[in-house]
Amino acid sequence: MQTELSRKLGVEYAVFGFTPFPAVAAAISRAGGFGVLGAVRYTAPDDLKRDLDWIEAHVDGKPYGLDVVMPAKKVEGVTEADVEAMIPEGHRQFVKDTLAKFGVPELAEGEASGWRITGWMEQVARTQLDVAFDYPIRLLANALGSPPADVIDRAHEQDVLVAALAGSARHARKHADAGIDIVVAQGYEAGGHTGEIASMVLTPEVVDAVAPLPVLAAGGIGSGQQIAAAFALGAQGVWLGSLWLTTTEAELPSPRLIEKLLAAGSGDTVRSRALTGKPARQLRTEWTDAWDDPRGPGALPMPLQGLLVADAVSRIQKYEVEPLLGTPVGQIVGRMTSERSVQAVFDDLTRGFEQAVERVNRIAGRSEEQ
């Protein structure tokens, strides 16, 4: 499971693992993959510094990276309060009514929301980078496409590779023109923000569109057999996110949420704007149904929706209101049927990969016996 890209980065397996949990990111790197910490939830620089310090102490000298959510176009002078003021009162009332319908308690007086999508904002993302570039990260990934040109230049000056997610060959070519180093071809099956083209179609299209840049395949991948298929399609690695949610190192806020993930099938997710305002694949719940119902007000554009529902999501998670309880996750959730360690996941991936390669070799008449 090595490629030119994995050898360049000094990792044993060409498996790039995105996760919001420092313990998972460190475990991925220790297991021979490449852990990538999601930074979108870090609004305070000291919090990010604390967790990067922890990773440094627990990664055993193995390489790791950071994923930010940063728009390519800079917006000057816009504060969170400015954005909050743009949220219509009708949408605020819809949130209140939906929570009341399911009996969701209020947060305690003075208790702040524990979940807030503000990492997309220019000033927040740049403070994250100011912290991150003080650490020996090897990769900077951006979930909203190519980061601003000065960020790419700054990363390259520090010998940090830059990756950008793409949902189409057209987007991938724009990333290549912007000077990024790696394209993540994220298919329709993926959790979180995703486009409308399935991985089997998207991966070879992107590989051809940006050659010779390396491409990582993402979306619906959770087995070694699928990794072998991604390599056959021209990818130099895979980008896995959902698979780590039910690992023992993960820090999901709710036991009931873990139970829902373990019980879910591959058809139990939906692409909904309910969480951030952009189509994001997540568990289908009464919450997503309410926002997707044409009789309702509909989701606001990003970033208004994320700010609107931040407190609501925190309340739903804290009080474990099962009908509304969800999380971004891909269609691979159907394979996530038990809690396992990150190392156990890697053991399963490598076994499956070996089996797939042996199967193809037999078909091609190139068995080991020959």
pLDDT in tens, 27-50: 999 999 999 999 988 888 999 999
Whether the pTM exceeds 0.85: the reply is yes
Confidence (pLDDT) at 122: 65
From the list 346, 342, 335, 189, the residue with the least C-alpha distance to 263 is 335
CB atoms within 10 A of CB 355: 14
Spell out, as residue ranges, where the chain has pLDDT lower than 70: 71-80, 112-122, 367-370
For residue 140, the one-letter residue type is L
Q: What are phi and psi of 141, to 5 degrees?
A: -110, 145
Euclidean distance between CA atoms 256 and 351, whole angstroms = 31
Residue 162 burial (CB < 10 Å; 0-12/13-18/19+)? Answer: buried
Euclidean distance between CA atoms 298 and 292, whole angstroms = 6
CB 353 within 8 A of CB 225: yes
Residue 340 burial (CB < 10 Å; 0-12/13-18/19+)? Answer: middle
CB atoms within 10 A of CB 253: 17
Confidence (pLDDT) at 365: 86
Q: Which residues contact 129 (CB under 8 A, 6 or more apart)?
A: 68, 140, 151, 154
Report CA-CA distances (Å) from 189 to 39, 135, 157, 264: 22, 33, 35, 15
CB 284 within 8 A of CB 270: yes
Q: What are phi and psi of 240, to 5 degrees?
A: -115, 135
Confidence (pLDDT) at 44: 87
Confidence (pLDDT) at 78: 60
From the list 68, 31, 29, 33, the residue with the least C-alpha distance to 48 is 68
Confidence (pLDDT) at 116: 55
